[in-house]
Amino acid sequence: DAGVTQSPTHLIKTRGQQVTLRCSPISGHKSVSWYQQVLGQGPQFIFQYYEKEERGRGNFPDRFSARQFPNYSSELNVNALLLGDSALYLCASSYRLAGGYEQYFGPGTRLTVT
Amino acid sequence: AQTVTQSQPEMSVQEAETVTLSCTYDTSESDYYLFWYKQPPSRQMILVIRQEAYKQQNATENRFSVNFQKAAKSFSLKISDSQLGDAAMYFCAYRRKSNSGGGADGLTFGKGTHLIIQP
């Protein structure tokens, strides 16, 4: 079975631009979470979606938004990019929303903002 | 807010020996989960082991085991018979069981410990 997939693998953007990152969860998983991992740090939680509704949000500015589609895939959008947005963006899927369900991570999208 | 602290930025161990990675956390919750994740250089994060706070028995997965001390808010990972493939960043993570809105929080990660395996 395919794992969590993310696209693109790498992305280079200029300050002020907008970016969309995509994630496809494991088949049968209804929850998708997004994390930002700055170099040398642990991942930080951005959003969690379940059944197409936002069910959790981390401490990120409104420039960050996301949505989940009927097929449970998800997009993360970041507007007005800043240099500090350069990071590895990880998507994770889980079967259910509850805290104990394992989150399976994708390989990530490396975003570089110049 | 909950925090997770990993005080060892880097650890080194000889192949076939045992190593323990430390993790402490801070929370006011009584019901939660703790995790150890492994992130090899290929970047894909993999769950190593999971512990539910209400379970007193320490979790074990093959060569990986934890020492969970709830009162001390400590959650260390022991890797026995270290192998070259164990080399990676290891992250300790916390997750509250559920929030008041009926959702679930994301994982709160520590900064990680870089584990080096010496052949």
Averaged pLDDT for residues B26-30: 91
Residues 6+ apart with CB under 8 A from B40: B46, B87, B88, B89
Taking 60 as the threshold, does the pLDDT of residue B59 lie above it? yes
User: CA-CA distance, B77 to A79, in Å (whole number)?
Assistant: 39
Q: State the pLDDT confidence band at A18, using cuts at 50, 70 and 90.
A: very high
Q: State the pLDDT confidence band at B103, using cuts at 50, 70 and 90.
A: low
Express each pLDDT in A48-101 by its tens digit. 999 899 988 999 999 999 999 999 999 999 999 999 999 999 999 998 776 677
Averaged pLDDT for residues B8-28: 97
Binding-site residues on chain A for chain B (CB distance < 8 A): 3, 33, 35, 40-48, 50, 55-56, 58, 88, 90, 92, 97-100, 102-108
Q: State the pLDDT confidence band at A102, using cuts at 50, 70 and 90.
A: confident
A86 CB-contact burial (10 Å; exposed 0-12 / middle 13-18 / buried 19+): middle
- Closest chain B residue to A93, measured at CA: B106
User: CA-CA distance, B84 to B2, in Å (whole number)?
Assistant: 33
Contact residues on chain A for B96, CB-CB shorter than 8 A: 99
- What pLDDT sits at residue B109? 97
Query: Token pair 């049968």 is at which residue?
Result: A28
Q: Are A56 and B99 in contact (CB < 8 Å)?
A: yes
Label the pairing between strands A10-13 and A109-113: parallel
Ramachandran region, residue B102 (left: φ > 0; alpha: ψ -120 to 50; beta: rest): left
CA distance B113 to chain A (A): 10
Q: Nearest-CA neighbor of A50 among A6, A96, A90, A5?
A: A96
Q: Are A107 and B104 in contact (CB < 8 Å)?
A: no
